[in-house]
Amino acid sequence: MLENKVALVTGAGRGIGREIALTLAEYGADVIVNYNGSEERAKAVAAEIGEKGRKAVVMKANVSDADEVAALFEQSLKEFGRVDILVNNAGITKDNLILKMSEQEYDAVVDTNMKGAFLCMKQAAKLMLKQRSGRIINIASISGIIGNAGQVNYCAAKAGMIGMTKALARELGSRSVTVNAVAPGFIETEMTDVLPQQVKDGMLAQIPLKRAGQAKDVAEAVAFLASEGAAYITGQTLQVNGGMDM
């Protein structure tokens, strides 16, 4: 399905990003495994992709740093000559009620999630406009759609990513580049492991499918949006949340 495609997945050393990288490789793509702090885990993901018979390289870059993102794309081009699929998955949370939320907590979350996606999309747009094809998939969140107490920063960033998705879909559509978002609900990763059991139980109670999501659930949605079959879908947000929001 994705043979001869090159995918760049940000934050692919662990969690949802790791599963996206592995799944795109299973469907035939070669993968640039971006990481920021998790070097060893990123190398393990690349090794696993190699075992599947696909090419993978690890590249370190902090997505919120414009110079590092420019270098990431430069290196990707050197290595593969093109980037067909960009998945903006890198993200962090720094939850707090607004009266306690520091400016630093706000900035860090917006910089990593939203500005990081902006910087990567800017680089990808340049390439994909020339290629006259491409797929950009932004990992947003249910929090950016319905809101979540304690996450003013994260909700702003994720809602912002959905807005940017629509704007860029309009900018790049005439060159057959699609831009979509995937908005996961409650997915079991290190990001949600830290939540108190009471909060987890509260979320589970709101999920019609009666289970937490797995990274693989998100990865399969991303693979679909990256595929030829999704060529006429752009500017959309696909919710992967077990029915938590409809």
Residues near ligand NAP (CB under 6 A) are 10-11, 13-17, 35-38, 62-64, 89-92, 112-113, 139, 141, 184, 186-187, 189-192
User: Measured at the alpha carbon of residue 123, what is the angle toward residues 120 and 129, in degrees to the nearest 5?
Assistant: 125
How far apart, in whole angstroms, are the C-alpha atoms of residue 219 and residue 215?
6
Minimum distance between the CB of residue 229 and ligand NAP, rounded to whole angstroms? 23
Nearer to ligand NAP, 112 or 234 (CB): 112
Nearer to ligand NAP, 3 or 190 (CB): 190
The count of residues in the chain is 246
Minimum distance between the CB of residue 93 and ligand NAP, rounded to whole angstroms? 7
The dihedral formed by the CA atoms of 149, 151, 154 and 159, expressed in degrees to the nearest 10: 20
Instruction: Spot the catalytic one: 27, 35, 106, 154.
Output: 154
Sequence-ordered alpha helix ranges (H) in the chain: 15-26, 39-51, 66-80, 103-109, 116-131, 143-146, 152-172, 190-193, 197-205, 215-226
Nearest to 124, CA basis, from 174, 21, 116, 213: 116
Q: Are the C-beta atoms of 134 and 78 separated by less than 8 Å?
A: no
Nearer to ligand NAP, 43 or 55 (CB): 43
**Catalytic status, residue 27:** no
- DSSP per-residue string spanning 30-76: EEEEEESS-HHHHHHHHHHHHHTT--EEEEE--TT-HHHHHHHHHHH
Nearer to ligand NAP, 33 or 168 (CB): 33
Minimum distance between the CB of residue 132 and ligand NAP, rounded to whole angstroms? 28
Minimum distance between the CB of residue 176 and ligand NAP, rounded to whole angstroms? 26
Minimum distance between the CB of residue 153 and ligand NAP, rounded to whole angstroms? 11
Residue position matching structure tokens 């960033």: 157
Q: Are the C-beta atoms of 177 and 136 separated by less than 8 Å?
A: yes
Nearer to ligand NAP, 87 or 177 (CB): 87
Catalytic residues: 154
